[in-house]
């Protein structure tokens, strides 16, 4: 397994602190995105997990015969993921650090790319466009893109202030911004290079320490062929 270590970012350090304090923040089961994605993946598919956290989806997919690799900002998350895979007798092709847009991912293109609760942190049009371009470059022709993000049902107008098109900032946490996606957002970000196969809503706990419902939309799309 290839591992890449980079200097910690502010966002990576934030997640380092949370993983140290809370451990498996969302439990050991798969994310809503992975649960949907696995219904569309062929046996033996190579899957790139962007923002794999502490590795719960890597383990879930590897158990099902997928060949997995991932990119994650948190050094503590990568340590936890490596430990999880080892404990289960599973293996990843590569677990890389740093931003997805900058990571040198070996073995591209992949059959599928999975990203759970990452894209709603992309709060500028430029960052969304970079993510979409990079996702397209990481996938083979006809490959699957599976993205899970917070939707507008999860928005609490009393706690947040609008700061842009679909982007809101927490009043008690200045600087912490979220993009709430809708069907139009998905089409605008991915419609040029992908064909939408599925948009479905899902609900999971915000985290084990705060078991309030988190409302998500999971998209499955296929990269254009040719």
Give the model's pLDDT for residue 3.
Answer: 54
What the block records as the tokens of 203 is 């609900």
Spatial separation of the C-alpha atoms in residues 154 and 148, rounded to whole Å: 13
* Residue spans of alpha helices (H) in 73-182: 75-87, 125-138
* Residue 208 φ/ψ, nearest 5 degrees: -65, -35
pTM (two decimals): 0.93
**Domains of the chain, each with CATH number or no CATH:** 2-223 (3.40.50.150)
Give the model's pLDDT for residue 6.
Answer: 45
Mean pLDDT in order along the chain per 10 residues (226 residues): 54 92 95 96 96 98 97 97 97 95 90 97 95 96 98 94 94 92 95 96 92 96 91
Spatial separation of the C-alpha atoms in residues 188 and 53, rounded to whole Å: 27
Spatial separation of the C-alpha atoms in residues 133 and 127, rounded to whole Å: 10
- Burial category of 192 from C-beta neighbours within 10 Å (exposed 0-12, middle 13-18, buried 19 and up): exposed
Measured CA angle at 182 (ends 178, 184), to 5 deg: 125
């Amino acid at each position: 397994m290839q591992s890449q270590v980079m200097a910690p970012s502010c966002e990576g350090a934030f997640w380092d602190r949370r993983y140290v304090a809370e451990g498996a923040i969302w439990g050991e089961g798969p994310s809503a995105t992975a649960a949907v994605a696995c219904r569309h993946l062929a046996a033996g598919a190579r899957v790139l997990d962007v923002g794999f956290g502490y590795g719960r989806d890597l383990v879930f997919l590897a158990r099902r015969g997928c060949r997995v690799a991932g990119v994650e900002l948190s050094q503590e998350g990568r340590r936890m993921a490596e430990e999880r895979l080892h404990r289960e007798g599973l293996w990843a092709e590569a677990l890389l650090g740093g931003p997805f847009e900058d990571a040198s991912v070996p073995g591209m293109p992949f059959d599928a790319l999975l990203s759970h609760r990452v894209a709603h942190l992309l709060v500028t049009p430029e960052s969304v466009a970079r993510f979409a371009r990079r996702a397209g470059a990481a996938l083979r022709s006809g490959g699957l893109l599976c993205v899970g993000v917070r939707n507008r049902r999860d928005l609490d107008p009393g706690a947040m202030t609008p700061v842009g098109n679909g982007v809101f900032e927490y009043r008690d946490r200045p600087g912490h911004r979220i993009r709430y996606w809708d069907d139009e957002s998905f089409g605008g970000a991915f419609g040029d290079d992908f064909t939408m196969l599925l948009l479905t809503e899902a609900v999971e706990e915000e985290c084990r320490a705060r078991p309030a419902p988190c409302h998500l939309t999971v998209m499955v799309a296929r990269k254009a062929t040719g």
